[in-house]
Amino acid sequence: MSQNSQNTMPILRSEEDLARLPVSERIRYRLVGADCRYHANDNISAFIQEGEIDELKAEVEARMKGVLESLVIDTDSDHNTNDTARRVAKMFIDEVFRGRYQPRPRLTEFPNVERLNELMIVGPVKVRSACSHHLCPILGRVWIGVMPNEHSNLIGLSKYARITDWIMSRPQIQEEAVTMLANELQELVKPDGLAIVMEADHFCMHWRGVKDDESMMTNSVMRGAFLKDASLRREFLSLLSKKD
Ligand SMILES: [Zn+2]
C-alpha cells in the first residue's frame, strides 16, 4: 500500500479495504464502528466473520512467538517450546477464553405451563475462568437459585451449566462475572427471584504476589424475591451448605 493511499483512506473502510488489515484490527474496526465495548469479559462473536477465528489464532500465535522471543527463550532449539506459541493461541481462543469468541449456546426455553413456583437450586456448577489482571486460572463453583413465576421461561438444568461456562470462559473479575451471569439468566429465565453464589480459588494468589494460600473468594448476587424475602434467602443458603 503506497503512502498516498494510506493518507486518503476513507474513515469508513469497505470490507475490501478491511480485508487487507490484520484480523484483530478488522474486528476492532467493526466493534468501534458499532460503539460496542470489547473489554476482556465481553463477548465479541457478533463481530467475527466466518474463517476469522482461524486467522485470529494465527495472529495470536505470531504475537505469542514474539513474547517468547522477548523472554529470551530459544524456541528454535528448545523442543519443549517449539510449538508453545501455537498451543497457547489455540488454548486462548478455542478453550479458556472461548466465551469471548463463540456465540451464546443455543437453548430451548419452555413456558412455565406447570406454573412451578418452588425454589429451584442448580449446582455446584464447576467454574473454570481466568483473572483479567494476570490471566491466571480461577477455579471454583457456582450455585444458582431460581424462583420462577408463571411468566418465567424454564431452561433445562444442564443449560445453566452451559451458560455459566460461556460467561466464565473469559478473562474475568469474580464480582463482574457473577453480575454478568445474573444479567444473562435474568433475561433468559425472567424469574421472580434469582440468587447466585460463586466460590473460587484465584491462582494468581498462589503462583505470584503474596503466595497466600487463603485465596478462596466468595461472591453472591441476590435479586427480586431473594432480596425482599429473608426466609427465601435463608432457605437457599441453607440448602447450599448441605450440598457441600
Ligand atoms: Zn490475578
Q: In CATH, what number is assigned to the domain containing residue 155?
A: 3.30.1130.10
What cell was used for 53? 477465528
pLDDT digits 0-9 by tens, 107-126: 877 777 677 778 999 999 99
Whether 140 and 218 map to the same domain: the answer is yes
pTM of the complete model beyond 0.85: yes
| pLDDT recorded at residue 8 | 47
Rounded to an integer, what distance in angstroms lies between the CA atom of residue 43 and that of residue 100?
Answer: 4
Residue 144 CA to ligand 1 centre (angstroms): 25
* Chain-centroid distance, C-alpha 35: 20
* Under 8 Å between Cβ of 115 and 150: yes
DSSP 8-state class, residue 95: I
Whether 58 and 84 map to the same domain: the answer is yes
Residue 101 CA to ligand 1 centre (angstroms): 22
Residue 132 CA to ligand 1 centre (angstroms): 7
What cell was used for 37? 465495548
What cell was used for 23? 484480523
Which comes out higher in pLDDT, residue 99 or 239? 99
In 115-229, alpha helices (H): 157-168, 174-189, 204-207, 225-228
Whether 116 and 223 map to the same domain: the answer is yes
Whether 118 and 230 map to the same domain: the answer is yes
Ligand 1 (ion): which residues have CB within 5 A? 131, 133-134, 204
- For residue 194, the number of C-alpha atoms closer than 13 Å in the C-beta half-sphere is 19
Residue 109 CA to ligand 1 centre (angstroms): 36
Rounded to an integer, what distance in angstroms lies between the CA atom of residue 237 and that of residue 220?
Answer: 11
Residue 138 CA to ligand 1 centre (angstroms): 9
Residue 173 CA to ligand 1 centre (angstroms): 8
Residue 216 CA to ligand 1 centre (angstroms): 13
Where in the sequence is the domain holding 180, given as residue range(s)? 109-243
pLDDT digits 0-9 by tens, 183-208: 999 999 999 999 999 999 999 888 88
